[in-house]
Amino acid sequence: MIKVRFSASRPAGAQCLILPVGKSGLDGASLPGDAAVLRAAAKAARFDGEAGSSFEQHIGHEAGAQRLVLLGTGAGSAEDLEKAGGAISAKLLTSGETDATLDVSGLSASAEAVARMAAAAALRSWRYDTYRTKLPEAQKPTLRDLVIVGAPEGMDAAWAHYNALVQGVSLTRELVTEPANVLYPETFVERCQRLKDAGVEIEVLGEAEMRAAGMGALLGVAQGSVREPKLLVMRWDGTNGAQKKPVVFVGKGVTFDTGGISLKPPAGMEDMKWDMGGAGAVAGAMLALAGRKAKAHVVGVCGLVENMPDGNAQRPGDVVTSMSGQTIEVINTDAEGRLVLCDAMTWVQQRFQPEYMVDLATLTGAMIISLGHEYGGLFSNDDGLADKLSAAGKAVGDPLWRFPIGPAYDKLIDSPIADMKNVGPREGGSITAAQFLQRFVDEGVKWAHLDIAGMVWASKPGTVWDKGATGFGVRLLDRFVADNFEG
């Protein structure tokens, strides 16, 4: 990933120079060299400053030649600048350039907008080439440093916030990208030990502690795997005890999901390494909040298991007793995420008595059928909380779409032999999954469930990610906390 730094003046040398140009602002742009020729060439290439577009040309320099990039910034909104920032890395990451200078002195933009632009450049450059041993030279990243010149006042504070976000999203992407033979409950916990350096308190429950607590639902999912399950608890209190009740985030962390005895089809099963995307988002958000010293009290809990089909695996038809005391008839062992989450939710409510609780999970394939890869699904028992999460998602580019819940859906998961079954009918599968989780929400707790099954992994590049792990949820949770729990 490229490194971003700020400077009062352009560095000496012939490194790539990037100049922002607003929508239809080419005629008024201050350009080096033969400006008239550059304008004519850019117009001939149909460059008009649309956000994220670019025009490239080499110009004369005392060192020989210099790559000049005219970067479209559209109307100059924060969203337009984010598109422009991402476009820098998409264009230059493997271009052969090692250093680039972005001169924003002509932009009328706030420090936060420029920081968001810089963060987009950093995030779009993220790659995970750990296991590539024969990558062709032309495909190897070359761009290492982006120097931003002419930034407005307040840049240090703005960049501190966004740089923390970059680090949090990067952690989430790393966790989601790693293969399941490398990342499993124990090693997930090990990767998150770095949060201690940022001031996050870490607590880990193993199988024995969870069994003593009565987490029969979570342990039922894990019993077919040789990997021991873990409950990872991360706590950040930037209020020095002033906020007594923490905001709670709970993440589904199924580090690999075969479906268990209800085995998934082989085609595409390799994608199930990212069935821990909710837990990954919670870990990344906790790192981001601690990294920027958020003045809030937040607890993140990740239920970490592997769902495997060995001779000891849970069977369809088994009945398990959750930590809450409610019994569950397991109709489908591939509906395992809700079994993990329900015990994690019960534990964190008993331990911290939160007023607000948000869970994140790659919970249902039905969500992808409903929303594709454009929105995460939102379910909530509180309109105010739902509105706050929706607003946060819209502001940062992690959009959510709210779905209904209610008694008509709830009765679909009633079981003839237990308190409930873990799946309903085919219709409304994402909704009945949310109804299942709601049965484990304590009275008075404002709760939301985010089904992000279609959002944690992308088959095509986006504004701030390449193909692969997106880091969805980190920026959303950070903005949700910043807007609602920091005075």
pLDDT at 39: 94
Q: Which of 125, 150, 175 is the last residue of a domain?
A: 150
Is 344 a domain residue?
yes
**Residue 143 shares a structural domain with residue 169:** no
For residues 287-312, give the mean pLDDT. Answer: 98
Dihedral sign of CA atoms 358, 361, 366, 368 in order: positive
Helices (H), 78-138: 78-92, 111-124
Is 156 a domain residue?
no
Read off the CATH number of the domain in which 45 is found: 3.40.220.10
Q: What share of the chain is helix, strand, coil (3-state, %, to 5)?
A: 35, 20, 40
Is 155 a domain residue?
no
For residues 136-143, give the mean pLDDT. Answer: 96
Residue among 127, 191, 194, 264 flagged as catalytic: 264
For residues 370-389, give the mean pLDDT. Answer: 98
Read off the CATH number of the domain in which 243 is found: 3.40.630.10
Q: Crossing angle, helix 155-177 and helix 111-124, to 10 degrees?
A: 30
**Residue 137 shares a structural domain with residue 213:** no
For residue 61, pLDDT over 90 is answered with no
Residue 460 catalytic? no
Residue among 116, 227, 273, 338 flagged as catalytic: 338
**Residue 313 shares a structural domain with residue 460:** yes
For residues 375-381, give the mean pLDDT. Answer: 98
- For 53-91, the three-class secondary structure string (H helix, E strand, C coil) is CEEEEEEEECCEEEEEEEEECCCCCHHHHHHHHHHHHHH
Please give the residue that has the higher pLDDT: either 35 or 235. 235
For residue range 245-269, what is the model confidence (pLDDT) as tens digits? 999 999 999 999 999 999 999 999 9
**Residue 375 shares a structural domain with residue 355:** yes
**Residue 183 shares a structural domain with residue 140:** no
State which residues form the domain around 360: 162-484
Burial of 469 (0-12, 13-18, 19+ CB in 10 A): buried
**Residue 90 shares a structural domain with residue 168:** no
Work out how many domains the chain is built from and give that number: 2
418: closest CA among 438, 436, 443, 441? Answer: 436
What is the CB neighbour count within 10 angstroms for residue 23? 16
Is 186 a domain residue?
yes
In angstroms, the CA 321 to CA 327 distance is: 4
Position 24 confidence tier, pLDDT thresholds 50, 70, 90:
confident
Q: Which of 150, 182, 207 is the last residue of a domain?
A: 150
Residue 116 catalytic? no
Count Cα atoms within 13 angstroms, Cβ side, for 409. Answer: 20
**Residue 179 shares a structural domain with residue 276:** yes
The gap between the terminal CA atoms of the chain, to the nearest Å, is 33
Taking the complete model, does pTM exceed 0.95, yes or no? yes
For residue 62, pLDDT over 80 is answered with no
**Residue 440 shares a structural domain with residue 476:** yes
